[in-house]
Amino acid sequence: MADFAALRRTMVDTQIRPADVTERAIIHAMLETPREVFVPQASSGLAYLDLDLPVGDNGRRLLKPMVLAKMLQALNITPKDRVLDVGCASGYGAALLSQLAASVVALEQDEGLFRAAKTTLARTSNIEVVQAPLVEGYLSASPYDVILVEGCIAIEPDQLCRQLADGGRLICILGTGPAPKATIYQKDANDITRQPIFDAFGPTLPGFAKPAAFVF
DSSP readout, 69-134? Answer: HHHHHHTT--TT-EEEEET-TTSHHHHHHHTTSSEEEEEE--HHHHHHHHHHTTT-TTEEEEES-G
Q: Which structural domain, as residue segments, surrounds residue 95?
A: 50-199
Residue 33 lies in a domain: no
Residue 169 lies in a domain: yes
Residue 85's pLDDT band, with cuts at 50, 70 and 90, is very high
What is the per-residue pLDDT across 159-213, written as a single tens digit (0 to 9) for each?
999 999 999 999 999 997 788 999 999 999 889 999 999 999 988 899 998 776 5
Supply the CATH number for residue 156's domain. Answer: 3.40.50.150
Model pTM greater than 0.75? yes
Please state the φ and ψ torsions of residue 3, each to the nearest 5 degrees: -90, 90
How many domains is the chain built from?
1
Closest CA to 26 of 84, 82, 77: 77
